[in-house]
Amino acid sequence: MTAVVEAPAGSGLGTAIRDASPLLASIGLLMAGNGLTSTLLGTRAGLEGFRPSVVGVVLAGYYVGFLAGSVLAPATITRVGHVRVFAGLASLASGAVLVHVVRPEPLTWFVLRAVSGMCISALYVVCETWLNGVATNRSRGGLLATYMVVVSGSLLVGQLLFAVADPGGFGLFVLASVLVSLAVVPVSLASFPAPAVPSPTPISLRRLVGVAPLAAVGAALSGFIGAAMLGAGVVYAADAGFGSFATGAFIGAALAGGVLLQFPLGRWSDKVDRRFVMAVAAVVAAGVAVAASMVNTDRRIVLIALTTIAGGSAFPLYSLSNAHLNDYLDADLVVAGGARMVLINGAGSVAGPVVGAAAVGLIGPESLFLVLAGGYLPIGLYAAYRMTRRAAPDETDRATFQVQAVGVGPTAVALAEPDVDGVHPPSAGLFDGTGATVVYREQGTGSAVVLLGEVVSGHEAWDDLIRALAANGVWAIAPDAIHGDDPPSAPSADGVLEVLRHLEIPAATFVGGGDHTEMASTMAEEHPDRTEAVVLVRETADGHDEAVEEVQRPTLVLERSWLESPEHLADEIATFVRHLPAPHHEAR
């Protein structure tokens, strides 16, 4: 029988979090396992007799692999699919953790850290692009905040787990490996398809630096500082005689500071010249780092408190650098610019553990904070200098600050509002059908949704609906939706079939509104092999009539007066389509 949905499909935050729960669980397990591994290896390397400078090089291998994974992951996912990539690389990363115990030598560990970095980078891409598929326009901001909480909280859990067993034994390696392995389970059981990995318009490094040189400097140095803190911070803790609990709290303080500082600094930067906020934050962090270098290592509570600012400021500075870039970047290059910033941040991260650990070994533990200050100060000074070179953008042109996940160097612009026209440009087509000339417009990728009749009124609203569907991971097709018609007209059923054949679409969801609700139902009744589902936009949402009951396909009935906007309608349609049974055919 038909599955008739009379109430709203529920595209709000609660539904999005429920749908995303398998992915969030996988991300949480990954973060906990990865956070535990990085702290464990820094400590265990010292126990194995590695010199501090060698420990820094070993830990830097992770960022080398992370850079490679960021570049290779999208193409690999496109070729074999999200689930296979996740399962394969999670297994490889889990095995790499255990091999560290088998061959405790620097070169082997460097290679293993590079392998782990490559795997974790690709796993982030899988989870983040999949989360973008779950998010709708209305739920995207809340889902981003939830993602941030899961990432940051799980990293902190990883630090706490460091205290549950002796780092000199085998138990913590097993625990870290098990956490990464278990991350496969929720993703494998997810009931909705993953979206395609977008291929953004490319932007060269030279152009990015030309548009916003401070953004490039901020990304590179914030990566350097953050990696020095998370990598060489373990070497500092070992040299200072910290126990397992104190070491976890020390590294965790930097992660917690990164979370706590992002929001106030970000909100402030949306109201004033963002470069001024970057200058103040960097100079203050440099001062706090210098102060921390003067504190005796036995005053651990004071050191941990200072580390929330001295170590945590690197993460909001990266987010501020991204926001500063977006202030000056064309809208169609925002996604590509974010991807380029990830690589710049990763390149800076490679040097962080090497320089930080070497300084601790050559000078003493207090030198780690001097290294951090040496990274912060150039950001502050250069930000102040750039304020003298050009005016801040107008408030109307200023991008909205987007929080970046702490301590993971996201490989995608996770859950950012997509530049749909840049990633999926709208297009129109015209061809001669058997009865008349057929005109259509289409945009997006994913499950095909065909719009028929008076779904919305007005040319701009129609464009907004198509664009909003594309932003929600749907391939929106509007047959005979002509700018000169008000409301847009729709062809006959035969014309709709011709559009499907022309675009090589085996089956679609048909959305009917106004006088064309009957056509949507007719398509399902007469062409069930071409119909995945039906959405009817009516004056009332009463779905218990004979016409609806005759539709032997999942059916959503929406009340027109309840819909707040074309974007709201797009959210409801996308959520409904996402929860359909597995389609019989592949969409583009």
DSSP string, 191-239: -SPPPPPP-PPP--HHHHHHH-HHHHHHHHHHHHHHHIIIIIHHHHHHH
Cα-to-chain-centroid distance, residue 30: 15
In the chain, domain spans = 13-397, 424-578
83's tokens? 């689930």
pLDDT reported for residue 412: 46
Q: Are 329 and 211 in contact (CB under 8 A)?
A: yes
518's tokens? 């009957």
405's tokens? 């996940």
Cα-to-chain-centroid distance, residue 64: 20
d(CA 458, CA 515): 16
Count CB atoms within 10 A of the CB of residue 427.
Answer: 9
Q: What is Dmax (Cα atoms) for the chain? A: 86
**CATH number attached to the domain at 13-397:** 1.20.1250.20
Count CB atoms within 10 A of the CB of residue 216.
Answer: 21
- pLDDT tens for the chain, 588 residues long, are 444 444 444 556 677 787 788 888 998 999 899 989 988 998 898 888 899 989 999 999 999 998 888 778 777 877 877 778 888 889 999 999 999 998 899 999 999 999 999 988 888 877 777 777 676 666 666 777 788 788 888 888 988 898 888 888 889 999 999 999 999 888 887 766 666 666 656 778 888 899 899 999 999 999 999 999 988 999 999 888 898 889 989 999 998 998 889 889 988 988 889 999 999 999 999 999 999 999 998 999 999 999 999 998 998 899 899 888 888 887 667 767 877 888 888 889 999 999 999 999 999 999 999 999 999 999 999 999 999 988 888 777 777 777 676 665 554 444 455 556 555 667 777 766 665 667 788 888 778 888 887 777 666 677 788 888 887 778 888 886 443 445 545 567 777 888 888 888 888 898 888 777 778 888 888 888 888 888 888 776 555 455 556 667 788 888 777 677 787 888 888 888 877 775 544 445
Amino acid at 318: Y
DSSP secondary structure code for residue 241 in this structure:
T
DSSP string, 476-501: EEEET--TTSSSPP---HHHHHHHHH
Beginning with the edge strand found earlier in the chain, give each strand of the sheet holding 508-513 in spatial order: 4-5, 555-559, 531-538, 508-513, 447-453, 474-479, 437-443, 427-432
DSSP string, 61-108: HHHHHHHHHHHHHHHHHHHH-HHHHHHHHHHHHHHHHHHHHH---HHH
Q: β-strand 474-479 against 437-443: which pairing, if any? A: antiparallel
Q: β-strand 437-443 against 427-432: which pairing, if any? A: antiparallel
Q: Are 122 and 76 in contact (CB under 8 A)?
A: yes
Q: What CATH number does domain 424-578 carry, 3.40.50.1820, 3.40.50.12780, 3.90.1150.10, 3.40.50.300?
A: 3.40.50.1820
212's tokens? 């916003």
